[in-house]
Structure 1
């Protein structure tokens, strides 16, 4: 089960999405299945944990097909990620963690000047590998 922690700050916030390598690969598979289906979105539940050092936990991950660059945002109590099918296909690879990946290893998915793949209004996303018992 994945965990999603969120802090809102002056820079637009930061989100930590964490799980075991298998949990993270499952998100990748969900994105790929979404892109092959007629569905517009997929919702993946998240397990609530102690949010520290973040401010709060989000209870789900919603991935949605749209006509924009990949955009990461908080909508209610969910982490919402949307983008064109082409860009979501590339984004799915951010979740391709091997079984031997060490707990604590992470990737940052952020907008930077000139990046046409990520929406400038995106919230900073950290995708973290955590093993069971690591909270």
Structure 2
């Protein structure tokens, strides 16, 4: 689920309007609409914290959009691939705990790690016996 969808679902569950949420968080209505439409993301971490507090959700829930990566790993490599993808995300997320890294840098690191994961999976295919390989349907 994308960031905007998460905000909208939590807001609707709290029976709040976009204007009420924007005022409670400390942003303009236009900014809140942009967040929900997926046009932009908060630039400051404190906005994520304010959103989480007002909506009654965990900040990490708002920050993570890795479900697509995990589901793709599960579809392509089965249960074990899904489990390894989840572990990879958990381990990499731990690297950033308490750090002061720019959001763009965090995104770049996460993308590099996920790219490395897919490259490693492709390289490891040659070590899997042919009878156990899942053939690509492409």
TM-score range, shorter chain: under 0.3
TM-score, normalized by length of structure 1?
0.27
Per chain length, whose mean CA-contact separation is higher, i.e. which structure has more relative contact order (CA < 8 Å, sep 6+)? 1
Structure holding more helix per residue? 2
TM-score, normalized by length of structure 2?
0.27
Structure holding more strand per residue? 1
Larger radius of gyration: 2
